[in-house]
Amino acid sequence: MIEFKDFSFKYKESENFALSGVSLSIQKGDFVGIIGNSGAGKSTFTYALNGIIPHHFEGDFYGEVNVNGLDTVEASPSQLALTVGSVFQDIDGQMVSSVVEDELLFGLENFGVPHDRIESRMVEMLAMVGIEDLRYRNISTLSGGQKQKVAIAAVAALMPDILVLDEPTAELDPQSSLQIFNMLRMLNEKMGITIIVVEQKIMLLSEFSKRLMIINEGRIFLDGTPQEVLKDTGLLRNIGVNCPRVATLAGRLIEKNLYKGDVPVNIGEAEIMVKRIIY
């Protein structure tokens, strides 16, 4: 379980709080999508989860952040790393090895995975993100999207209780992005890993997340199911959040009193909505 208690943080030498007055809980096994404009506080939220704040960024820290019973101020980053696996935006900065296989082995060996399970775990994760053929490649020869997949596979191979990803599909094409989110859903549903994803592709977040959070100007602006959050498309447009087209269509139909059901989050649900209106 993750719990924020009136959490606020201001980076050293910054005049404004990056996040202010955040109080919320995230239950084990949840799948949370986070979206917001640049500078809204999304990355700061993830840094508070894995201990980067306050252990690596100086500043004014108020309130509490607890992860599976660990106070992130008192617990060391290495302690938190056993619980929270993180994939950052700066993929090159996260890599510690020169070869794909060694990148996965580094974590598996250093976090105490039994030796007789390392090979099967590595093969499983490489296959899950579709990079079996890259196992022996030099990381410097990979594209940005391929590196992203390697980073996700390396962290997921450790089977953390919580997996935090900061824009994991930023450099991926639509098919690869869908593959990553399908992998995250499998980790969430079959293995019970809590997933927290910061992402700009709101259509993917809407379809895969159980809970959607909008961060705006350092505060949690909206928090609920994707259907609840996307219901007021006009409000989201006002803060610069581009809604999925199916949600925008539903919003306009709701405004004209032509539709009163749940907001669709994918094409299939939109088709059902239109048929209900027509027939």
Residues 11-28: what's their mean pLDDT? 94
Q: What is the pLDDT of residues 43-60, one digit of tens each?
A: 999 999 999 999 999 899
**Bridge partners, residue 42, by sequence:** none
Contacts for 65 with CB less than 8 Å, ≥ 6 apart: 2, 3, 4, 5, 7, 48, 49, 71, 72, 73
Please, which pLDDT band fits residue 170 given cuts at 50, 70 and 90? confident
The model's pLDDT over 81-133, given as tens digits with 9 standing for 90+, comes to: 889 999 987 888 888 999 999 999 998 988 878 888 999 999 988 988 889 99
Q: Which of 243, 242, 238, 236 is nearest to 265 (CA)?
A: 243
Among 111-115, 150-154, 179-183, the range of highest mean pLDDT: 150-154
| Predicted confidence (pLDDT) per residue in 229-271, tens digit | 988 777 888 888 888 888 888 888 888 887 887 888 888 888 8
Question: pTM of this prediction?
Answer: 0.87
Q: Check whether 145 has a pLDDT greater than 90.
A: no
pLDDT at residue 33 above 80?
yes
pLDDT at 196 over 90: yes
Query: Which domains, from first to last, does the chain contain?
Result: 1-83+161-236 (3.40.50.300), 91-159 (no CATH), 244-279 (no CATH)
Summary mean pLDDT of the chain: 89
Tokens 């008192």 correspond to what residue?
74
